[in-house]
C-alpha cells in the first residue's frame, strides 16, 4: 500500500506492529511530552520510534523516524546494557555505558580538552547551555537565534529561558512559556534565513545580519 509522507513524496507502508517493542518504549523514555506515543505508536509529529520503510525525513531527530541502522545499533546497545547490569548492577552499568559513549564521541570528533553533556533533545540542550552561560556570567544575557525561520517551535521559548512544553524531560509538569527559575531577564533576537522581502540571504548577507543583531 503506497501513501504520501510529510515531504509529499510517495513512500511505502511503515513497519506494521502488533505490539510495542520494549526497545521502542526505551527509546522514547526520558524525553518531554512530544515523545509520548499514540495508539498508533506515533509521537506528536507523527513519527515512530522504529524504522519506517521508504519514508523520507528532512526534519529533526524528534520529527523523524529512526533509521534501520541506528535502530539495530540501539538494540545491540540495550542488550549490552542488560548483560552488564547482571554483573555490575543497573546503575553502575548505565554510568559505564554513558562514560563509554562520551569517550567515543570525543575520539570521533578528535577533541581533547572538552567534556560531553548528553541531553534529552536539542531543545533541552539550549536550556542547558543557557544555564552554563548564566553560571559563568551572572549578568545580563541576550541570545541570537540564527535561522529562526527554520528552527523548531520550542526554540522561541528556550532562547528566552522559558519552558517549551508542559512536561520536562524529568517528567515534571510545568506551564509552557513560563520563565524558568534562574533564567529570567534573557532577551532574544531572531535572524531568519530570509530577509524582509522574503528572499534567501547569501552567506555573506547572513553573516552581516547576525553581526548586526549582536
| Same-domain check for residues 51 and 101 | no
Q: Residue 4: beta bridge partners?
A: 10
Same domain? For 153 and 203 the reply is yes
Could you give the number of structural domains in the chain? 3
Q: Is residue 113 in a domain? A: no
At 64 the three-state DSSP class reads coil
What residues make up the domain containing 7? 1-66
Contact 75, 37 (CB under 8 A): no
Q: How far apart are CA 75 and CA 90, in angstroms?
A: 17
**Which residue would you say has higher pLDDT here, 64 or 161?**
161
Q: Would you state the pLDDT for residue 56?
A: 76
* Position 131 pLDDT exceeds 60: yes
Same domain, yes or no: 126 and 143: yes
Residue 110 has pLDDT above 90, yes or no: yes
Question: Are 79 and 142 members of one domain?
Answer: no
| Any domain includes 136 | yes
This prediction has a pTM of 0.68
Residue 172 included in any domain: yes
Over 90: is that where the pLDDT of 53 sits?
no
pLDDT value at position 59?
67
* Spatial distance between the Cα atoms of 52 and 13, rounded to a whole number of angstroms: 7
Alpha helices by DSSP H, 21-154? 22-27, 68-88, 90-108, 122-136
Q: Which of 41, 34, 37 has its CA nearest to residue 15?
A: 41
Phi, psi of 162 (to 5 degrees): -120, 155
Amino acid at each position: 500500500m503506497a501513501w504520501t509522507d510529510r515531504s509529499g513524496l510517495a513512500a511505502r507502508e511503515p513497519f506494521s506492529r502488533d505490539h510495542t517493542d520494549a526497545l521502542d518504549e526505551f527509546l522514547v523514555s526520558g524525553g518531554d511530552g512530544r515523545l509520548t506515543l499514540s495508539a498508533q505508536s506515533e509521537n506528536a509529529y507523527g513519527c515512530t520510534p522504529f524504522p519506517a520503510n521508504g519514508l523520507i525525513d528532512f526534519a529533526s531527530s524528534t520529527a523523524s523516524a529512526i533509521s534501520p541502522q541506528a535502530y539495530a545499533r540501539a538494540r545491540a546497545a540495550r542488550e549490552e546494557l542488560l548483560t552488564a547490569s547482571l554483573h555490575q548492577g543497573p546503575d553502575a552499568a548505565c554510568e559505564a555505558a554513558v562514560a563509554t559513549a562520551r569517550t567515543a564521541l570525543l575520539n570521533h570528533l578528535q577533541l581533547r580538552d572538552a567534556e560531553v553533556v548528553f541531553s534529552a533533545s536539542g531543545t533541552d540542550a539550549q536550556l542547558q547551555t543557557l544555564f552554563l552561560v548564566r553560571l559563568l556570567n551572572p549578568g545580563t544575557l541576550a541570545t541570537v537565534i540564527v535561522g529562526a525561520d527554520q528552527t523548531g517551535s520550542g526554540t522561541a521559548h528556550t532562547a528566552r529561558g522559558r519552558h517549551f512544553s508542559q512536561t520536562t524531560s524529568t517528567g515534571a509538569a510545568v506551564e509552557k512559556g513560563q520563565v524558568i527559575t534562574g533564567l529570567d531577564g534573557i532577551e532574544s533576537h531572531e535572524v531568519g534565513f530570509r530577509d524582509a522581502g522574503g528572499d534567501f540571504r547569501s552567506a555573506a548577507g547572513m553573516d552581516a545580519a547576525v553581526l548586526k543583531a549582536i
